[in-house]
């Protein structure tokens, strides 16, 4: 128990009446790569939103690093070391790739309310931002506005923005959504490199990606955990196949 | 260093023009320039909200009015109150007003923000109209002395002299605008732009969106208050219709839009266009506002980015053509 | 009836008259917002414009009744032109609600200035038609006939509006569009035409209110100032796009105004805005509002 970095206990959430999460018990061990899979509408994004503080749970608890963080706002969780990327790309569209990443770097360095120095004169911020851009292979596009990047690069920026605050736990919501085969390939590579030594929770529909990245898998169905296990256990489970084929049910 | 030289030249030209203006133009035109400078400061302070934070305020007159009334009341009630403290206190009072309203203002965006600021602006207008014991109602506060600017051991500058007051206003406005420009370049300024683009993501990166917005409301209010204070010093009378009327809020929006929304210096250009145009049209007709209103509609529809963008678009097109031509020559 | 009761009743009728006029203005405003997502800052200007049309028609024909027909229609036509040639254009520019707000603000300025240019800044008198002058005695109390006429007229319009909205196919489309704009436009209905209709009807109703108000308030450039701001309060407090909210809050504001002036003359107008500020701060969508913008 003591090794788990994130835990949800009997989590409930509904959108004004529509029950979406109906008692989710999730456990993520420190240092693992944990995938959450489930058919469309299973409540994966909603679960992310509740864990990361966008919504407060209707019932149940979220425990992060041993602390009850239910109802904490995203900025507070971010400072505690939780990062998150979005299924629908949500960068700073009019800002350049450099400015996007710098936003995260500034926060990581605790420069959040400084209004007495020019930001471009902060050498270490600039240096660190450049390092990140190089690592994610966006240094040549550093002056390009986010919405002018190619789709693959924009998605890469989305994921890197989640990593830019250097979180201990990062939650990625379908990072490869809408990518071509090649783009998916390099995205998986990037994710593996960026999350080295960290804990990651990833939602993914692409089973190749799931099986190549994940140490453990949780299957979510109708707002409940259907199964938890290692990739090859999950692969062979009948309930999981049923859930995906749509005639399963709980 | 190319940029440095360019900036230097621009400053020299600006200082030369601004310095020579009153001697070339005469008193009447100098007074128009005073109005222009004050108005530009006001418009830039509003632009911090509109272009940088991405919220449209219909109640910026509130801060202008608080600044103006603070100056007028201080000078009226406290004999011999010095100039600079009056100016700064007015700014602080307006900034404080921004801070006091911020817990409510930070909760809303979009149309609701516009309506909420409109409500606060009107609230202030009505309060000042009704509490005539303090504010003089629609007659306003008048008959206060304009203190000289005392620089101990050096000089005492008479603010009733139009030329002197002009220089004073220009210095205050330039400093104010430069501080705001600097602010947009600081980390906090960047966060504000981030909030405009995607406030949810800013939250997820660990910033406190509401606190940041509160700071910008206070800052914007402060400089609007300074502008209002300059107005009070210049006019010698402060009334509800002069500083708190809803048109006082709308006017700088026009300047921003005409000059260029989304840019820092556009609103200054817009202020120039608006004030000069008004001054020119006034000679032919009483109804200058009809023309500015029409201009406003035309700008919204045909140059939605304002004249700065129009200009930049023309420059870009010109460059592209030159590039194409030189390529054709090479081929 | 004791004199005190009589005073209360008179005051209540007063408030009801204003509340009804306010509803005529605010219902158009809220319908337009609900359907098109546009908060039309020029809405009250149409109210004023119609009052001037009324004055002009009366000056030409000497008949208030002709003005009551012609002025709102003229106003509605101006509204349709504005929608077709200006609003529709700015919506395509993709400036979001800032574009709409700024454009309608510009239109409001132009209308108010144009009115001053054409008719001057002084106030003009429109006489109450002889058949509506004087007082009528009901249950031992005297009421000005004209105020009762305004209440009746508003009720007729309210009834017609309710009929269109709840009993016709067009009304069904409009109501559906208010609750879910995207879905309806996906159904292959010619939305631009419906928008034009709603905008036209909204301005027409403001126009009727303008004509009705003209004899009571006289016609002058600041005519729409109060009712315009009050109409925004109604839309905001009642909920963006909610007709029920518009009815309830209009009548409430009418009475608040009437009794407020009676008892706390200095604070009455402040209360209205304070109320709106509080509602907006804690319930940004208003009391009856549903959609999150
Ligand atoms: N903001 C919302 N308001 C109302 N219902 C919502 C909202 N967001 C999601 N839902 C509903 O909640 C259910 C779960 O949605 P959610 O986005 O969490 O699913 P998901 O597992 O992420 O699906 P996908 O694989 O398509 O991303 C769906 O039925 C969806 O329609
Ligand atoms: Mg999802």
Chain segment A22-50, per-residue pLDDT in tens: 999 999 999 999 999 999 989 999 999 99
Note the pLDDT of residue C181.
67
Q: Choose the closest CB to A74 out of B185, B188, B204.
A: B204
Give the ligand at the shortest distance from the Cα of A221: 1
Give the whole-angstrom CA distance, residue B94 versus residue B111: 23
Which residues of chain C have a CB within 8 Å of the CB of B127?
A: 270
Note the pLDDT of residue C232.
87
Which residues of chain B have a CB within 8 Å of the CB of A108?
A: 206
Rounded to a whole number of angstroms, the distance from the CA of C290 to the nearest CA of chain B is 14
Structural domain total, chain B: 1
Angle at alpha carbon of residue B19, lines to B16 and B21, rounded to 5°: 100
Residue C100: which pLDDT band, with cuts at 50, 70 and 90? confident
> Residue C143: in which H helix or E strand, if any?
strand C141-144
Q: Whose CA is nearest to atom 8 of ligand 1?
A: A46
Domain assignment present for residue B253? The answer is no
The reply to whether ligand 1 has any atom less than 6 angstroms from the CB of A22 is no
CA C29 to chain centre: 7
Domain assignment present for residue B160? The answer is yes
C203: burial class by Cβ within 10 Å (0-12, 13-18, 19+)? buried
Beta bridge partners of A96: A145
Q: Are A204 and A35 in contact (CB under 8 A)?
A: yes
Domain assignment present for residue A36? The answer is yes
Q: A186: closest CA among A156, A159, A162, A164?
A: A156
Q: Is the pLDDT of residue C195 over 50?
A: yes
- Give the CATH number, domain containing residue C38: 1.10.3470
Q: Which domain holds residue A155?
A: 4-245
Q: Are C159 and C24 in contact (CB under 8 A)?
A: no
Note the pLDDT of residue B326.
65
Give the whole-angstrom CA distance, residue C250 versus residue C271: 15
pTM score of the predicted model: 0.90
Q: Do C281 and B296 touch (CB under 8 A)?
A: no
DSSP B280-313: HHTTT-S-HHHHHHHHHHHHHHH-TT-HHHHHHH
**CA-based nearest residue in chain A for residue B198:** A92
Instruction: For residue range B286-311, list pLDDT tens digits in order.
Output: 777 788 788 888 888 887 777 777 77
Q: Do A115 and B183 touch (CB under 8 A)?
A: yes
Domain assignment present for residue B292? The answer is no
Q: Do C236 and B122 touch (CB under 8 A)?
A: no
Give the whole-angstrom CA distance, residue B182 versus residue A164: 26
Q: Which domain holds residue C42?
A: 3-282
Note the pLDDT of residue B58.
93
Q: Is the pLDDT of residue A90 over 80?
A: yes
Structural domain total, chain A: 1
Give the whole-angstrom CA distance, residue C1 versus residue C257: 24
Distance A183 CA to ligand 2 centre (A): 20
Domain assignment present for residue C102? The answer is yes
Note the pLDDT of residue A249.
41
Domain assignment present for residue B116? The answer is yes
Domain assignment present for residue B261? The answer is no
Phi and psi at A201, nearest 5°, equal -115, 130
CB atoms closer than 10 angstroms to residue A173: 25
Distance C243 CA to ligand 1 centre (A): 31
B178: burial class by Cβ within 10 Å (0-12, 13-18, 19+)? exposed
Q: Choose the closest CB to C89 out of B56, B257, B301.
A: B301
User: A residues 17-56 near B, CB within 8 Å?
Assistant: 52, 54
Residue B216: which pLDDT band, with cuts at 50, 70 and 90? very high
Residue C243: which pLDDT band, with cuts at 50, 70 and 90? confident
Distance A58 CA to ligand 1 centre (A): 16
Domain assignment present for residue C287? The answer is no
Angle at alpha carbon of residue C46, lines to C87 and C277, rounded to 5°: 85
Interface test with C, best of B124, B126, B200, B214 (most C CBs within 10 A): B126
Q: What is the mean pLDDT of chain B?
A: 90
Q: Does B12 touch chain C (CB under 8 A)?
A: no
Q: Do A91 and B198 touch (CB under 8 A)?
A: yes
The reply to whether ligand 1 has any atom less than 6 angstroms from the CB of A84 is no
Domain assignment present for residue B130? The answer is yes
Structural domain total, chain C: 1
ipTM: 0.93
Q: Does A93 touch chain B (CB under 8 A)?
A: yes
Domain assignment present for residue A211? The answer is yes
Give the whole-angstrom CA distance, residue C31 versus residue C242: 7
Q: Which domain holds residue B196?
A: 3-246
Instruction: For residue range C42-93, list pLDDT tens digits in order.
Output: 999 999 999 999 999 999 999 999 999 999 999 999 999 999 999 888 888 7
Q: Widest CA span of chain A, in angstroms?
A: 61
Note the pLDDT of residue C293.
38
Q: Picking from A23-32, B104-113, B243-252, B285-294, which range would have the lowest pLDDT averaged per residue?
A: B285-294
Q: Are C207 and C50 in contact (CB under 8 A)?
A: yes
Give the ligand at the shortest distance from the Cα of A36: 1
Domain assignment present for residue C152? The answer is yes
Residue entry with tokens 């949780």 = A218
Which residues of chain C have a CB within 8 Å of the CB of B123?
A: 270, 273-274, 277
Phi and psi at B2, nearest 5°, equal -55, -45
Note the pLDDT of residue C97.
76
Q: Is the pLDDT of residue A250 over 60?
A: no
Q: Does B123 touch chain C (CB under 8 A)?
A: yes
- The mean pLDDT value for B213-227 works out to 98
Beta strands in chain A (DSSP E): 4-15, 18-29, 33-37, 59-64, 67-68, 82-84, 169-173, 199-203, 216-221, 224-229
- Give the CATH number, domain containing residue A159: 3.40.50.300
Tokens standing for residue C266? 């200095």
Q: Do B198 and A90 touch (CB under 8 A)?
A: yes
Tokens standing for residue B273? 């266009």
Note the pLDDT of residue C291.
46
B232 or C243, higher pLDDT: B232
Q: Choose the closest CB to C110 out of B56, B253, B297.
A: B297
């Amino acid at each position: 128990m003591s090794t788990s970095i994130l835990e949800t206990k009997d989590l409930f959430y509904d959108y004004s009446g529509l029950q979406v999460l109906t008692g989710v018990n999730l456990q993520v061990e420190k240092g693992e790569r944990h995938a959450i899979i489930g058919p469309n509408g299973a409540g994966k994004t909603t679960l992310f939103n509740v864990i990361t503080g966008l919504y407060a749970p209707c019932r149940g608890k979220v425990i992060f690093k041993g602390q009850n963080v239910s109802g904490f706002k995203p900025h507070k969780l971010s400072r505690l070391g939780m990062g998150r990327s979005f299924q629908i790309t949500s960068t700073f569209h009019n800002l350049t790739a450099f400015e996007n990443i710098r936003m995260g770097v500034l926060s990581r360095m605790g420069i959040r309310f400084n209004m007495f120095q020019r930001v471009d004169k902060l050498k270490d911020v600039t240096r660190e931002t450049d390092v990140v851009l190089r690592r994610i292979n966006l240094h040549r596009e550093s002056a390009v506005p986010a919405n002018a990047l190619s789709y693959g690069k924009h998605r890469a920026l989305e994921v890197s923005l989640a990593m830019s605050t250097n979180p201990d736990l990062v939650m990625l919501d379908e990072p490869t959504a809408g990518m071509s085969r090649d783009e998916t390939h390099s995205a998986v590579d990037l994710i593996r490199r960026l999350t080295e030594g960290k804990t990651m929770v990833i939602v993914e529909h692409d089973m190749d990606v799931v099986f190549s990245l994940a140490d453990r898998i949780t299957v979510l169905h109708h707002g409940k955990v259907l199964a938890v296990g290692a990739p090859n256990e999950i692969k062979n489970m009948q309930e999981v196949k049923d859930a995906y084929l749509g005639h399963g049910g709980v | 260093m190319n940029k440095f030289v360019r900036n230097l030249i621009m400053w020299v030209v600006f200082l030369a023009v601004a310095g020579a203006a009153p001697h070339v133009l005469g008193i009447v035109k100098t007074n128009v320039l005073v109005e222009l400078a004050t108005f530009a400061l006001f418009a830039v302070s509003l632009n911090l909200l509109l272009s940088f934070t991405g919220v449209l305020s219909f109640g910026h007159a509130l801060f202008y009015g608080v600044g103006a009334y603070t100056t007028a009341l201080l000078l009226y009630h406290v004999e011999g109150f010095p100039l600079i403290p009056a100016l700064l206190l007015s700014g602080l009072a307006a900034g404080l007003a921004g801070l006091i309203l911020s817990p409510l203002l930070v909760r809303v965006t979009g149309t609701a923000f516009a309506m909420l600021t409109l409500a606060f602006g009107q609230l202030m207008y009505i309060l000042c109209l009704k509490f005539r014991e303090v504010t003089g109602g629609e007659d306003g506060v008048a008959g206060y002395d304009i203190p000289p600017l005392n620089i101990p051991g050096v000089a005492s500058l008479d603010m009733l002299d139009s030329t002197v007051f002009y220089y004073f206003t220009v210095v205050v406005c330039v400093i104010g605008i430069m501080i705001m420009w600097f602010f947009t370049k600081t980390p906090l300024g960047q966060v504000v732009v981030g909030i405009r683009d995607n406030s949810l993501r800013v939250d997820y990166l660990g910033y406190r969106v509401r606190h940041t917005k509160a700071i910008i409301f206070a800052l914007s209010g402060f400089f609007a208050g300074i502008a209002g204070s300059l107005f009070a010093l210049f006019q010698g009378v402060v009334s509800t219709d002069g500083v708190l009327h809803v048109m006082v809020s709308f006017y700088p929006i026009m300047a921003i839009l005409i000059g260029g929304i989304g840019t820092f210096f556009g609103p200054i250009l817009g202020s120039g266009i608006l004030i000069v145009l008004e001054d020119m049209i006034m000679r032919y007709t009483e109804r200058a506002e009809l023309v500015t209103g029409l201009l406003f509609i035309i700008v919204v529809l045909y140059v939605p980015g304002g004249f700065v963008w129009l200009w930049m678009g023309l420059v870009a097109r010109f460059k592209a053509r030159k590039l194409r031509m030189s390529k054709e020559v090479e081929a | 009836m004791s004199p005190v009761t009589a005073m209360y009743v008179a005051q209540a009728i007063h408030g009801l008259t204003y509340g009804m006029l306010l509803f005529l203005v605010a219902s158009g405003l809220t319908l337009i917002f609900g359907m098109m997502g546009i908060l039309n800052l020029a809405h009250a200007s149409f109210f004023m414009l119609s009052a001037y049309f009324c004055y002009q028609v009366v000056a030409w024909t000497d008949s208030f009744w002709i003005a009551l027909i012609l002025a709102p229609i003229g106003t509605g036509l101006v509204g349709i032109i504005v929608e077709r040639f200006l609003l529709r254009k700015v919506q395509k520019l993709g400036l979001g609600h800032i574009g709409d707000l700024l454009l309608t603000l510009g239109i409001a300025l132009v209308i108010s200035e144009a009115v001053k240019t054409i008719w001057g800044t002084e106030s003009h008198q429109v006489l109450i038609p002889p058949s509506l002058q004087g007082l009528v005695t009901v249950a031992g109390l005297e009421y000005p006939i004209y105020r009762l006429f305004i209440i009746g007229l508003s009720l007729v319009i309210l009834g017609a509006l309710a009929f269109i909205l709840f009993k016709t196919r067009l009304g069904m489309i409009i109501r559906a569009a208010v609750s879910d704009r995207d879905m309806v436009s996906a159904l292959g209905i010619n939305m631009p035409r419906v928008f034009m209709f709603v905008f036209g009807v909204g301005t027409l109703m403001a126009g009727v209110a303008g004509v009705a108000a003209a004899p009571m308030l006289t016609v002058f450039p600041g005519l729409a100032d109060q009712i315009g701001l009050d109409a925004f309060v109604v839309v905001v407090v009642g909920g963006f796009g909610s007709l029920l909210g518009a009815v309830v809050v209009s009548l409430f504001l009418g009475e608040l105004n009437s009794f407020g002036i009676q008892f706390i003359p200095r604070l009455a107008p402040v209360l209205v805005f304070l109320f709106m500020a509080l509602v907006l701060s804690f319930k940004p969508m208003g009391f009856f509002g549903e959609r999150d913008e």
